[in-house]
Amino acid sequence: MSCPPIASYDFDSPDADVVLLSSEPQSPAHFRVHRSILTIASPFFQDMFSLPQAPSTSTDESQKIPIIPVSETRDVLEPLLRFVYPVPDPIITTLDDLNQVLAAAIKYEFEVVVSTLRTFLLSPAFLQASPVKVYSIACQHDLVEEAKIASRHTLSTDLLDLEGVAVEELKRMAAYDYHKLLVLHKKRSEAALEFISKVDSCEDGAVKCMQCNGSVFTANGPPKWWIEWEKRAREELQARPTTDVVFGMDFLYAAARKGGCVRCPGSVLESWKILADLKEAIDSLPSTI
């Protein structure tokens, strides 16, 4: 687990009054902790410590404090406790690690830790690299706001062509939550394509090119670059209903070059207002579950 300790505190304080025992079958870790800290941080431990505790079986007087076995491994328990204790927070670099610590924090009702990890979950690095996985984790823990935010970031992902980590994450995601993503993508894609169709249906043609529309026979038709752009944009928006790609200069230039008209690049520039309005309309569509 990639949560390296960055503080010198080793949970071996001699004045600790309880031990949390990690779940490894061989050589479990003993975390000597303080009831007062856990009680303040967690209603779960507050209730637990209000009950009589079984005495330690150790013959060492200095070790005769209650030992509480927990189901978490040392790799989960240590970063969790570092978030609870007044020591520097651990560094969590993967979503798998974050998910395990978050699950433990929710289980033990460490509300401040849960709040911190919810913020970590929505860090730009995680959202940009693995939006589907962030969404899945949020759904697993009923984090409604985080799931909404993550769902917006999945718009740049083709949900029907997932690979690697994203595919594995579908095994952990409820069908209902995946269906909500699919519905979001489908409705947004359909609405975006409808906006493009409205541009096509404008009287006398909204987009012009001096060469493509220079003949009486082609005066009201779309220029070559628009025909190519629309074809490509429809394919892109059906897979990823976001404007990040289709209104980029690379995408527009590729359409103009493919059209083969020397005047079309100029038409693209002259059509900036139409493109800007179209982008704004698509961006205004509902973007979360």
Summarised one tens digit per residue, pLDDT across range 143-167 is 999 999 999 999 999 999 887 777 7
pLDDT in the model for residue 96: 94
pLDDT at 59: 43
Provide φ and ψ at 12, rounded to 5°. -130, 25
Query: Is it the case that residue 286 has pLDDT exceeding 90?
Result: yes
Domain ranges of the chain: 203-283
| Residue 217 confidence (pLDDT) above 80 | no
pTM for the model stands at 0.87
pLDDT category, 102, cuts 50, 70, 90? very high
Q: Cα separation of 228 and 205, whole Å?
A: 16
Q: For residues 141 and 106, what is the distance between their CA atoms, to the nearest angstrom? A: 8
Output 234-242 pairs: Cβ under 8 A, ≥24 positions apart.
234/193, 234/196, 237/189, 237/192, 237/193, 237/282, 238/189, 238/193, 239/158, 239/160, 239/161, 240/155, 240/156, 240/157, 240/158, 241/155, 241/185, 241/188, 241/189, 241/192, 241/282, 241/285, 242/155, 242/156
* Helix, strand, coil percentages in the chain from 3-state DSSP, rounded to 5: 55, 5, 40
